[in-house]
Amino acid sequence: MIQRIFHGSDHILVRPLYGYGKAYNDYGLGFYCTDSIDMAKEWGVSMFQDGYANIYDIEMDGLEVLDLNSEKNCILNWLAVLLCNRKFDISSSLAFDARKYILDSFLIDCSGADIMLGYRADDSYFSFAQDFLNGTISYRQLNNAMHLGKLGQQFVLKSEEAFDRIAFIGYETALAKEWYAKREMRDKLARKEYFNTERNRRQKGDLYITTILDEEIKQDDPRLR
């Protein structure tokens, strides 16, 4: 099966190279793409610099895909991967204990994955995750917050085999004056919805990180579904 994917960048990238990039991205070293050309255009621009949505096809047959949003996983699996790769502001003892417990209990083995799928931790989404670690929002609220702003999910090439399967198709130009404004609006919308509909809307029975720690809740707990 051939899948069309897009990569936002400040330059045209005909041949992505395995082993290059930033190790502290959401899912570690890899080539970060999306299935949305609009999202790639947003990611490809900066405030004053135009960018590109590079277009690729990839042959998926035989590749091992790790989908962090699949039914067998939960949002804490995604958060554990994020904690493993990104730098969080761990400014409280609760957040410190939460980070250790989530890494110990919910980090899944990603070493065999050719492709990883999952949420992208833009600034707003990253702040939602930090609120959860600090006990400000519940597990339910974190889950709901990840859908605000319709950021979608990212498609990350992790293995050399996956890089060998990718074929450059072309590109579309993204104008900074158009797509940077759209990116900023998306982030503002997510934050606005978060504060209006989630952050201050506690519900009876909400599961907070304190309960997860105190009861040593694990992957198979039905409250995480």
**206 contacts: CB under 8 Å, gap ≥ 6:** 138, 139, 140, 141
For residue 186, give the H/E element and its range: helix 176-193
- Give residue-wise pLDDT tens across range 154-185: 999 999 999 999 999 999 999 999 999 998 88
DSSP 157: E
The per-residue pLDDT for 121 is 74
Q: What is the pTM of this model?
A: 0.89
Q: What does the pLDDT read at residue 38?
A: 94
Domain ranges of the chain: 2-219
pLDDT score at 88: 77
Give me the residues of the chain with pLDDT under 50, please.
Answer: none
What does the pLDDT look like over 45-78, one tens digit per residue? 999 999 999 999 999 999 999 999 898 999 999 9
